[in-house]
A and B are shown apart, each in its own frame.
Chain A
Amino acid sequence: MTDDTYKQGTYRPSEQEPPKPKPIADGVVSRFEHVLEVDPTLMRRFEQQYQPVWETKRIVDSRWEHLRWMHDHFADEVLVAGEESETGAE
Chain B
Amino acid sequence: MATKPKSGTRYDPNADGRLQEEFVEKWRDNAYGCFSSGHKFCREVCPVMQVTHNENHSPTAFHANIVAMEQGQVSVEDVADDYVHCTQCGACELRCPNTLFTGDFYRHRTETVKVVRAMRALMIDTGLDRQNWQVWNRLTDELKNEPVLGVGNGQPNGQEHVRDWADGLNIPVGGETIMFVDCEAAFYRTSIPRATAQILQKAGVPFGLMQEQWCCGGPAAEMGYVEQSRAFAEHNVADWRAVGANRIIAIEPHDYIHFTEDYPAYFGESFDFEVIQILELVAELIRDGRLKLEKPIDRVVTYHDPCRLNKRKGIYEAPREILRAIPGLTFKDIDHVTQWSYCSGGGGGLPIEKPEITAEISRRRVDLAAELEVDTLVSGCVWSERPLAAAGSEAGIEVLDIIELVADSAGIEVGERKGP
Contact = CB atoms under 8 A, between A and B. Distances in A.
Check whether chain A touches chain B (CB < 8 angstroms). yes
Interface of A: 1, 5, 7-14, 16, 35-38, 40, 43, 46-49, 51-52, 54-63, 65-66, 68-69
Nearest to B269: A13
Given A56-B104, A62-B314, 16 more contacts: A8-B313, A9-B277, A10-B277, A11-B276, A12-B274, A13-B274, A37-B105, A38-B105, A46-B108, A51-B103, A58-B314, A59-B103, A61-B314, A65-B337, A66-B337, A69-B335
A9 B318 contact: yes
Interface stretch (B93-101, B147-155, B179-187, B360-368): B93-101
A14 B275 CA distance: 12
A36 B313 contact: no
Given A49-B107, A59-B99, A10 B314 contact: no
Contacts of B335: 69
Interface residues of B, number: 38
B276 A13 contact: no
Contacts of A37: 104-107
B333 interface: no
Nearest to A65: B337
Contacts of B279: 9
B107 A13 contact: no
Contacts of B314: 8, 57-58, 61-62
Contact of B259 (A11, A43, A68): A11
B105 to A, nearest CB: 5
A78 B101 CA distance: 21
B273 A51 contact: no
Contact of B274 (A11, A48, A65, A68): A11
Nearest to B312: A58
B280 interface: yes
A10 B274 CA distance: 7
B281 A9 contact: yes
A18 B108 CA distance: 14
13 contacts: A9-B313, A13-B272, A37-B105, A37-B106, A38-B107, A43-B106, A51-B107, A58-B314, A59-B109, A60-B104, A62-B100, A63-B100, A66-B100
B109 A49 contact: yes
B280 A63 contact: no
B107 A8 contact: no
B309 to A, nearest CB: 8
A66 B338 CA distance: 9
B137 to A, nearest CB: 26
Nearest to B103: A59
Contacts of A59: 99-100, 103-104, 109
Contact of A43 (B107, B109, B256): B107
A59 B108 CA distance: 11
B146 interface: no
B317 interface: yes
Contacts of A68: 337
A76 B276 CA distance: 37
A1 B283 CA distance: 16
A68 B316 CA distance: 15
B222 interface: no
B100 to A, nearest CB: 5
